[in-house]
């Protein structure tokens, strides 16, 4: 049956979602545990928080620069090739981290090899891939796939800490890399396919070019969005790409820093390493709730208002860290940040595809994601520098609060009702006009 998988009538696109979910679960989950290695490296090599943070910041810059490059490769060569090569390199690089014996080797492996490869297994490839398979339920499908990263943080980060405590930090990297190579890579190779047409299927939304309209009628084809572009450069002559990129830059500033500095921050405030890792795991678990909720809701209403609300709520969380001291505030922040952390992802990239079309979505997604990663790199470095200078993360949280206020305004100002393909007039069938 067209539009369905042969087995059980389940649309094959959900197998794509499942494969990329598990890929993110292992790879991004292991990357989110980087902060757990601060203390072992300090004890083994005597490295400072600021020095390790500098490596993480460089890695984030490299990851950001890789995004438009790999997005362009996606547009030219497809998702399968880019994802499989990058996933394999990521796994090998993770295993090789067990051999680190100097800051330079850490910089090469984590700062360059792993960080570049991570760009090819991120939303820069999975977002456009899922957009090919889903139209009507695009927000939901993107949300489910995106949830792989926080579920990985919820389970892989505490698991990594357990391995470190049970054995040592070198063994932990070997275990993480082995899981990626022995489970994640074969699963992705077996399940990932480029598009439904190649399997004789249709996207769940019906029309192969335009996202489904708010009516949820998959058979309704709509006028192209006003800003649909044949060349990705055309997008940068219009406001939405700048509004979304600026807001996503702030998203990077206020989320990437948590993957590196949350555990050190929480332990500095009085939590034990195990309790800090648990709080991070709970925060990651709530990511799942937040992203699934906004994904489903956004398929039934506008996306830009939800995006603005997510940034606003996250800003309230950072403001609380500034105003309320003590461990209870960290638990409350973990809840607020968890619900809003990755909820921006399906909203941002669904909007990007629906405003500019799918032809250049890999490149545009890569450029928008680069802004996110550059913001993250800046925040990682400055948070480490500020801690070494003042012995506190509070200055960083003040900056995050103000920046999130700006991101709220940027997102709310996108003219979604005018520019999104979801809200364009329905095409009149041939011959209907004269009937």
pLDDT in tens, 227-251: 888 888 889 999 999 999 999 999 9
Q: What is the pLDDT of residues 45-62, one digit of tens each?
A: 988 877 887 888 788 788
CA 121 to chain centre: 10
Q: What pLDDT score was predicted for residue 221?
A: 64
Q: Is 382 a member of any domain? A: yes
pLDDT confidence tier of residue 313, bands split at 50, 70 and 90:
very high
Cα(32)–Cα(410) distance, rounded to whole angstroms?
28
- Whether 208 shows a pLDDT value over 60: the answer reads no
Q: Is 2 a member of any domain? A: no
- Whether 322 shows a pLDDT value over 80: the answer reads yes
Question: Which three-class secondary structure state does DSSP give residue 120?
Answer: coil
Residue 339 φ then ψ, to 5°? -70, -25
Q: What pLDDT score was predicted for residue 211?
A: 45
Q: How many CB atoms lie within 10 A of CB 389?
A: 10
Which of 87-96, 199-208, 336-345 reaches the highest mean pLDDT? 87-96
pLDDT confidence tier of residue 311, bands split at 50, 70 and 90:
very high
Q: What pLDDT score was predicted for residue 220?
A: 57
> Mean per-residue pLDDT for 31-43?
86
Question: Which three-class secondary structure state does DSSP give residue 246?
Answer: helix
Q: What pLDDT score was predicted for residue 212?
A: 43
Q: Is 290 a member of any domain? A: yes
pLDDT confidence tier of residue 428, bands split at 50, 70 and 90:
low
Which of 44-48, 110-114, 317-321, 377-381 reaches the highest mean pLDDT? 110-114
DSSP string over 332-398: HHHHHHHHHSSTHHHHHHHHHHHHH-STTHHHHHHHHHHHHHHHHHHHHHHHHHHHHHHS-SHHHHH
- Whether 398 shows a pLDDT value over 90: the answer reads yes
Cα(429)–Cα(220) distance, rounded to whole angstroms?
10
Q: Does 106 or 57 have the greater pLDDT score?
A: 106
Phi/psi class of residue 266: alpha, beta or left (left: φ > 0; alpha: ψ in -120 to 50)? Answer: alpha
Q: Is 214 a member of any domain? A: no
Q: Is 85 a member of any domain? A: yes
Cα(125)–Cα(210) distance, rounded to whole angstroms?
19
> Encoding tokens for residue 26?
């292992």
Place of tokens 């330079």: 104
Q: What pLDDT score was predicted for residue 1?
A: 42
Q: What pLDDT score was predicted for residue 96?
A: 96
Q: Is 426 a member of any domain? A: no
Q: What pLDDT score was predicted for residue 279?
A: 85
- Whether 178 shows a pLDDT value over 90: the answer reads yes
- Whether 310 shows a pLDDT value over 70: the answer reads yes
- Whether 38 shows a pLDDT value over 70: the answer reads yes
Q: Is 114 a member of any domain? A: yes
Q: How many CB atoms lie within 10 A of CB 167?
A: 12
- How many DSSP H helices and E strands does the chain contain? 20, 0
- Whether 217 shows a pLDDT value over 90: the answer reads no
Residue 164 belongs to domain spanning:
13-195+222-419
Place of tokens 């609300």: 309
Q: What is the CATH number of the domain that holds 352?
A: 1.20.1250.20
Q: What is the pLDDT of residues 143-173, one digit of tens each?
A: 888 888 878 877 888 899 899 999 999 999 9
Q: Does 268 or 164 have the greater pLDDT score?
A: 164
Q: What pLDDT score was predicted for residue 214?
A: 38
Cα(288)–Cα(281) distance, rounded to whole angstroms?
11
The secondary structure element, H or E, covering residue 297 is: helix 273-298
Cα(188)–Cα(194) distance, rounded to whole angstroms?
12
Q: What pLDDT score was predicted for residue 222?
A: 67
> Mean per-residue pLDDT for 67-77?
87
Q: Domain count of the chain?
A: 1
Q: What pLDDT score was predicted for residue 143?
A: 85
- Whether 12 shows a pLDDT value over 80: the answer reads yes
- Whether 430 shows a pLDDT value over 60: the answer reads no
Q: What pLDDT score was predicted for residue 268?
A: 84
Q: What pLDDT score was predicted for residue 200?
A: 82
Q: What is the mean pLDDT of the chain?
A: 85
Question: Which three-class secondary structure state does DSSP give residue 99?
Answer: helix
Q: What pTM was estimated for this model as a whole?
A: 0.74
Q: Is 3 a member of any domain? A: no
């Amino acid at each position: 049956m067209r539009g369905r998988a042969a087995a059980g009538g389940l649309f094959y696109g959900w197998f794509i979602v499942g494969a990329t979910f598990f890929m993110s679960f292992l790879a991004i989950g292991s990357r989110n545990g980087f902060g757990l290695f601060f203390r072992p490296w300090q004890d083994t090599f005597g490295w400072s928080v600021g020095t390790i943070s500098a490596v993480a910041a460089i890695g984030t810059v490299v990851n950001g620069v890789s995004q438009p490059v790999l997005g362009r490769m996606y547009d030219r060569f497809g998702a399968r090739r880019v994802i499989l090569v990058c996933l394999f390199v990521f796994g090998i690089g993770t295993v090789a981290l067990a051999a680190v014996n100097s800051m330079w080797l850490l910089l090469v492996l984590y700062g360059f090899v792993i960080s570049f490869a991570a760009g090819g297994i991120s939303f820069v490839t999975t977002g456009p891939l899922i957009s090919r398979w889903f139209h009507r339920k695009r927000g939901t499908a993107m949300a489910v796939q995106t949830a792989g990263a926080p579920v990985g943080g919820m389970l892989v980060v505490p698991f990594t800490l357990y391995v470190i405590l049970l054995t040592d930090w070198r063994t932990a990297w070997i275990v993480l890399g082995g899981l990626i190579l022995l489970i994640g890579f074969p699963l992705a190779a077996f399940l990932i396919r480029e598009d439904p047409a190649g399997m004789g299927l249709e996207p769940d939304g019906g029309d192969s070019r335009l996202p489904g309209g708010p009516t949820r009628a998959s058979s309704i084809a709509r006028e192209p969005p006003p800003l649909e572009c044949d060349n990705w450069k055309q997008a940068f002559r219009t406001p939405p790409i700048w509004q979304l990129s600026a807001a996503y830059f702030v998203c990077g500033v206020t989320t990437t820093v948590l993957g590196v500095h949350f555990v050190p921050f929480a332990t500095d405030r009085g939590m034990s390493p195990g309790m800090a890792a648990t709080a991070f795991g709970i925060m990651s678990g709530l990511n799942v709730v937040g992203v699934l909720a906004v994904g489903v809701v956004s398929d039934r209403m506008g996306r830009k208002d939800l995006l603005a609300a997510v940034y606003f709520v996250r800003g309230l969380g950072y403001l609380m860290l500034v105003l309320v001291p003590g461990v209870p505030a960290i638990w409350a922040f973990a809840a607020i940040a968890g619900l809003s952390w990755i909820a921006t992802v399906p909203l941002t990239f669904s909007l990007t595809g629906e405003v500019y079309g799918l032809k250049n979505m890999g490149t545009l997604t890569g450029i928008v994601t680069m802004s996110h990663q550059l913001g993250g790199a800046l925040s990682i470095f400055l948070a480490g520098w500020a801690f070494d200078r003042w012995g506190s993360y509070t200055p960083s949280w003040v900056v995050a609060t103000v920046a999130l206020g700006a991101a709220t305004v940027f997102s709310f100002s996108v003219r979604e009702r005018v520019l999104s393909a979801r809200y364009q007039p329905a095409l009149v069938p041939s011959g209907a006009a004269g009937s």
